[in-house]
Homo-oligomer: A and B are copies of this chain.
Amino acid sequence: MSEKKRRRADPVAPGPSSRQPKPRAGPSSASALPFKNRLKPDATIVSALRQLYAAEQSSMSAARPLTLTDLGLSSTCREVADCDPSAVRLAIEDAILAAAHSVLEGRGFSFSVPSRSSSNQIYVPELDRIVLRDKSSTRGFSNLSTVRKTTITVRLLALIHQLCIKNIHVTKRDLFYTDVKLFQDQGQSDAVLDDISCMLGCTRSSLNVVASEKGVVVGRLVFTEGGDRIDCTKMGVGGKAIPPNIDHVGNMESDALFILLVEKDAAYMRLAEDRFYNRFPCIIVTAKGQPDVATRLFLKKMKTELKLPVLALVDSDPYGLKILSVYMCGSKNMSYDSSNLTTPDIKWLGIRPSDLDKYKIPEQCRLPMTEQDVKTGKDLLEEDFVKKNEGWVRELELMIKTKQKAEIQALSSFGFQYLTEVYLPLKLQEEDWI
């Protein structure tokens, strides 16, 4: 990209008062950065964030979140809840007792297992998430097509029972390895584990089965983990690994004004190294790509306990939006657990398709969308949780029309710190989230 192009700083739909460049203290001498002269002093930006924060605090304090019962759906939809280990044990003992009774009554050994297929899922607009309906099927030992799954179910129930007695946590992989010859491949034990979570009405983390940790967090957050006090402003540039077992986490405290949810590791690194959270009080969190359960639970817990607005920084492509939708509405695979795993009302800060022109992202840093990308984009337009947000629909339509996508790192074409020094501050200043 030419120096000339880099120096261009065309105005982009600004408030009139922001047209004059104003002096501000900053670590960078890169005054040639496009749009940098549009930035107001940090204090002005922070006061805008304070309003966002106050709105979130009051709305979350006022409104108890809607439940299936409120909507009269508790008998036709099914959800799981966080349970303590003794409740899980009781639920397992009840299930086994029911199976024993079934044997004694001459009906053979069987369980009633909820269906997790997509035909048994429904999007509830009032809740803004996918939930599971109440269809279930009989999984019996005396039926050739279900005997294997029944055996796996019993084996896993016994193992989870043991976990709850000892109150220790293991991974899905550990479970698989307790009986490789029976489970054959991990996909089989994983699927039955989800069935069991549904069947018992307990979340998978209640079963003391956790996913590998993948996420990291840094910034204005203090919490306790297994009795240790963790101060995420003192976690260097790497940050704190988000623990796989959320029930070890408690006592969250923060003076942040918002949570910045980042799709990619590289952008997280840039923000952490530049200590962005010191300039704009926030908590920065990433799952490094596809959100894992531990990071989703952690985000949900932060949002719920601290009542903070969540702003998302993702790639401008259908996949970035899909990731956002997993955080917000849950994955279809775990729709039975959507109330515990989802964080509603995440605001899409960027990179949005309209940003590509607005911020003059050079042509060579945009990528053409593949046919598959376009198809995924069109499919997203059909999803209920996209439809309900006009701004999202417009952005998606623009993406599909231009057939262009861009990763967060495309901003690196203006310099590696353009993200933290210009793009994000300007976004926050203009309250440019939807």
A239 at the interface (CB under 8 A from B): yes
Q: Known: A168-B416, A416-B168. Is A182-B212 also a contact (CB below 8 A)?
A: no
Residues A220-278 near B (CB distance < 8 A): 224-230, 233-245, 248-249, 264-266, 269-270, 273-274
Does A235 contact B240, Cβ atoms closer than 8 Å? yes
CB-CB under 8 A from A265, the residues of chain B are: 171, 212-213
Give the copy number. 2
Q: Known: A288-B212, A409-B177, A417-B166. Is A238-B234 also a contact (CB below 8 A)?
A: no
Q: Name the CB-closest residue of B to A294.
A: B238
Does A238 contact B244, Cβ atoms closer than 8 Å? yes
Bound CA span A180–B412, Å: 11
A63 at the interface (CB under 8 A from B): no
Bound CA span A416–B168, Å: 8
Chain A contact residue count (CB 8 A cutoff): 63
Q: Nearest Cβ in chain B — how far from A232, in angstroms?
A: 10
Candidate in A178, A181, A236 with the most chain B CB atoms within 10 angstroms: A236
Bound CA span A420–B415, Å: 48
A365 at the interface (CB under 8 A from B): yes
Bound CA span A182–B235, Å: 37
Residues A308-337 near B (CB distance < 8 A): none
Q: Name the CB-closest residue of B to A407.
A: B177
CB-CB under 8 A from A234, the residues of chain B are: 228-230
Bound CA span A166–B29, Å: 10
Identify A238's interface contact among B180, B224, B241, CB under 8 A.
B241
Residues A164-185 near B (CB distance < 8 A): 166, 168-171, 173-182
CB-CB under 8 A from A407, the residues of chain B are: 177
Q: Nearest Cβ in chain B — how far from A156, in angstroms?
A: 13
Q: Known: A173-B266, A266-B170, A412-B174. Is A243-B238 also a contact (CB below 8 A)?
A: yes
Candidate in A166, A178, A410 with the most chain B CB atoms within 10 angstroms: A178
Residues of A within 8 A of B (CB): 1, 162-163, 166, 168-171, 173-182, 210, 212-213, 216, 224-230, 233-245, 248-249, 264-266, 269-270, 273-274, 288, 364-365, 367, 407, 409-410, 412-413, 415-417
